[in-house]
Structure 1
Amino acid sequence: MPELPRVAGAHLVGSINQPSAEATFRVVAEELGDDLARIPDGEVGERFHWILFQGAAFDAVDGLSRVPIDPIVVAGFDLRPTVLDGTVEAAALAFGPLGYADAAAASYADFVRLREEGVIADGTRFQVCLPSPLAPITTFVAPAHRAAVYPAYAAALAAELDRIAELVPADDLAVQIDLATEFAYLEGVSLGGGPLEAFFADGGADAPALVTAIASLAAELADRVPGAAQLGFHLCYGDVAEKHFVEPTDAGRLVAVANALAAQVERPIDWVHLPVPIERTDAEYYAPLAEWALPAATTPYLGLVHHEDGVDGALARIAPAQEAFARAGVASFGVGTECGFGRGPAERTAGLLALHHEVIAAATRP
């Protein structure tokens, strides 16, 4: 049996239930700072429900209109899709600011100040989390119009990333790209409007071709991250009411996408985060990790920390993961939660952060 990989370090995928970026930085630094290479701002304010605030960006585009039905309200956001209304050609669509760069600028100012005060440790990077363009397009554009609108939104998101790279020095910056909607396409599930059709892949594409197409789209944004900055991916099966849109049968599709990203993205990938359902302590779920083919410089993080069963539950999930990763020659991996926890109760935050440290300590105890 190959040597088992070490468990080292934690990763936060973005969303944390705190009232401000400063509050996020303070509680994270206090409870988990020594185990983190990067700290996100908690996706506070309008970003609390991931991409749902992006509906306003679609509303502001000349040439797009909401379908004339009653509002579909989720967490205060209207999710009615938009369509091309015929007043502007698709090639001429122009999105304004999307809000990500403005949020990063404000949060980074707090981050720098707190680091200068010694609250945040020197060497810790500021983490910015962005969706793939596919997620807002799928949520806010009617199926027949997605292919036509995609280039305009993708260009706007790329411009946001470019501005973030201008605002934050590359050696201070870590960019995470969230891939969640992609797994709804791969799993063939409905997110509310019927089964998804992969407009970005050749018709009838089989699963390997679809994985390649997903990685290719993600690479277009990822390769814009400056070389001296860090780049990572959060692979996700959704988090509505702390539940996946479908439970993965095993880690197979997650590993397939991770491997495809390594093949498609031209710059180094520093980390990839994969979710682990709470009930999966069986070897079958983790077996595909033996096919992990990313370079040693890419750290895998497994989202196996669950507040419901604490250290013991995490250790039960770590054991089969170590055995599978060992077969792939992985020397170490880190831990995290399945997804962000910004929509869980705020009073859980400090304890959940501390739990990461407790899991790492228990997993490394002789």
Structure 2
Amino acid sequence: MKIPFSDQQLAEGRRELEEMDLETGYDEAAIESYSIFKQLQSEGIIEQDVKFQVSLPTIANVVGILIEEDFRRIVEPIYEKALFKSLQTIQDLIPHEDLAIQIDLGMDMAYWEEIVFEPWFSDKRYVVEYIVRMISRVHEGVDLGIHYCYGDMEHKHFAQPASLGPITDLHQQIVKASPRPIQWIHCPVPLSAMGNLDIFFKPLSTLSHRLISDKTKLYLGLVHPHDLEGTQARIAAAERVAEEFGIATECGWGRISHREDTESIMDICRKVSGYSTMKSNEGGGEPQNRDEQRAVV
């Protein structure tokens, strides 16, 4: 049985937190990594037109997971201040023309759909509010993206999305309130969608038009290791409703734990994007069809 904190304990905790110079460490990690990035660019390993991406999770992905329930309202503004401080430092020390910021949503989708996890606030519209607060801290000269996610603990989502409907709804609300443009979004396409791909992708019929008008690039996380045929089927289904999109892994590269999975993903990406064709010097190596022009992240 959980014993709640007393008012005195909460007050003492608040005081200690407010007196603490809280640091997220995101800025230190980003600056250290950026120096390696620039070295690799100078050696020609990374191309000059590639930007340095820093991915930062929202407050929900710390406050909603790592903080005791009774303290979440207390910790939220303190942690948000530290997060924004890190974000500002990153933008102060990395040239804007080199930088791209990606805001990672995870717990946020659970709160938006009102499933699995209980938030510390009562109105789900607050999800849009705190995301937009974070967006407003990204400078105009810095590219901005949003990664919509359902978690990736041990390669598993906390829930399997039935469609891209909730992501479409949330993104449209964010765009309405956003003070600045969003350059790209990434959406997961889990293997569980294979039985109903048309239903899963149907919300893209409205979202795709909005993204194009907003000049926001769409990346679909439909590449899964050792599944070339499935990847091709998911691309074909998405093409029935989305006018333009690039491809990506379901939830980034960070949690890919086996070398053979990494090699498989890279091989699939080459085959469905036309990178192998582009390397051919027979006839100039230009892409010849939509699949071969598919962008990869």
Give the drift of 1:296.
4.0
Give me the whole-angstrom Cα distance separating, in 1, the residues matched to 2:248 and 2:240. 19
- Which of 215, 229, 234 is matched with 1:297 structurally? 215
Give the drift of 1:137.
0.3
Is the counterpart of residue 160 in structure 1 residue 72 in structure 2? Answer: no
Q: Which residue of 2 aligns with 1:126?
A: 52
* Superimposed CA distance per residue, residues 234-278 of structure 1 (whole angstroms, 9 cap, x where no aligned partner): 000111121111101111001111112211221110000000112
Give me the whole-angstrom Cα distance separating, in 1, the residues matched to 2:115 and 2:154. 18
Q: Which amino acid aligns with 2:202?
A: A
Q: Which amino acid aligns with 1:301?
A: Y
Is the counterpart of residue 313 in structure 1 residue 240 in structure 2? Answer: no
Shift in alpha-carbon separation, 1:170–1:319, aligned structure 2, 3 A: same
Q: What are the within-5 Å matches in structure 2 for residues 133-152 of structure 1?
A: 133-152=59-78
Is the counterpart of residue 343 in structure 1 residue 261 in structure 2? Answer: no
Q: Which residue of 2 aligns with 1:175?
A: 101
Gaps in structure 2 of 5+ consecutive residues: 4-8, 275-288
Shift in alpha-carbon separation, 1:249–1:90, aligned structure 2, 3 A: farther
> Contact 2:87/2:137 (CA < 8 Å) preserved in 1?
yes
Give the drift of 1:318.
1.4
Higher helix share: 2
Q: Which residue of 2 aligns with 1:232?
A: 145
Give me the whole-angstrom Cα distance separating, in 2, the residues matched to 1:279 and 1:135. 24
Shift in alpha-carbon separation, 1:286–1:91, aligned structure 2, 3 A: same
Give the drift of 1:196.
0.5
Q: Which amino acid aligns with 2:46?
A: I
* Superimposed CA distance per residue, residues 25-51 of structure 1 (whole angstroms, 9 cap, x where no aligned partner): xxxxxxxxxxxxxxxxxxxxxxxxxxx
Q: Which amino acid aligns with 1:274?
A: C
> Contact 1:315/1:363 (CA < 8 Å) preserved in 2?
no
SS of the aligned residue for 2:61 comes to helix
Q: Which residue of 2 aligns with 1:217?
A: 130
Gaps in structure 1 of 5+ consecutive residues: 1-66, 69-82
Give me the whole-angstrom Cα distance separating, in 2, the residues matched to 1:142 and 1:93. 19
Q: Which amino acid aligns with 1:154?
A: E
Give the drift of 1:143.
2.1
Q: Which residue of 2 aligns with 1:258?
A: 171
Is the counterpart of residue 287 in structure 1 residue 202 in structure 2? Answer: yes
Give me the whole-angstrom Cα distance separating, in 2, the residues matched to 1:225 and 1:197. 25
> Contact 1:252/1:288 (CA < 8 Å) preserved in 2?
yes
Give me the whole-angstrom Cα distance separating, in 2, the residues matched to 1:132 and 1:94. 21
- Which of 15, 32, 53 is matched with 1:89 structurally? 15
> Contact 2:226/2:264 (CA < 8 Å) preserved in 1?
no
TM-score norm. by structure 1 comes to: 0.68
Give me the whole-angstrom Cα distance separating, in 2, the residues matched to 1:251 and 1:215. 17
Give me the whole-angstrom Cα distance separating, in 1, the residues matched to 2:119 and 2:80. 19
Shift in alpha-carbon separation, 1:270–1:365, aligned structure 2, 3 A: closer
Is the counterpart of residue 277 in structure 1 residue 194 in structure 2? Answer: no
Larger relative contact order (CA 8 Å, sep ≥ 6): 1
Q: Which residue of 1 aligns with 2:283?
A: none
Q: Which residue of 2 aligns with 1:364?
A: 291
Give me the whole-angstrom Cα distance separating, in 1, the residues matched to 2:65 and 2:46. 36
Shift in alpha-carbon separation, 1:365–1:96, aligned structure 2, 3 A: closer
* Superimposed CA distance per residue, residues 309-365 of structure 1 (whole angstroms, 9 cap, x where no aligned partner): 12x21111112212222xxxx4x2111111023233241324323322222228525
Shift in alpha-carbon separation, 1:309–1:351, aligned structure 2, 3 A: closer
Shift in alpha-carbon separation, 1:213–1:324, aligned structure 2, 3 A: farther
Q: Which amino acid aligns with 2:291?
A: T
Q: Which residue of 2 aligns with 1:241?
A: 154
Q: Which amino acid aligns with 1:102?
A: E
Give me the whole-angstrom Cα distance separating, in 1, the residues matched to 2:14 and 2:130. 25
Quote the RMSD (CA, aligned, Å): 2.3
Residue-pair matches, total = 267
> Contact 1:90/1:148 (CA < 8 Å) preserved in 2?
no
Give me the whole-angstrom Cα distance separating, in 2, the residues matched to 1:90 and 1:256. 39
Q: Which amino acid aligns with 2:223?
A: V
> Contact 1:84/1:90 (CA < 8 Å) preserved in 2?
no
> Contact 2:146/2:186 (CA < 8 Å) preserved in 1?
yes
Structure 1's consecutive aligned runs of 4 or more residues displaced over 6 angstroms after TM superposition are none
> Contact 1:236/1:339 (CA < 8 Å) preserved in 2?
yes
Shift in alpha-carbon separation, 1:103–1:91, aligned structure 2, 3 A: closer
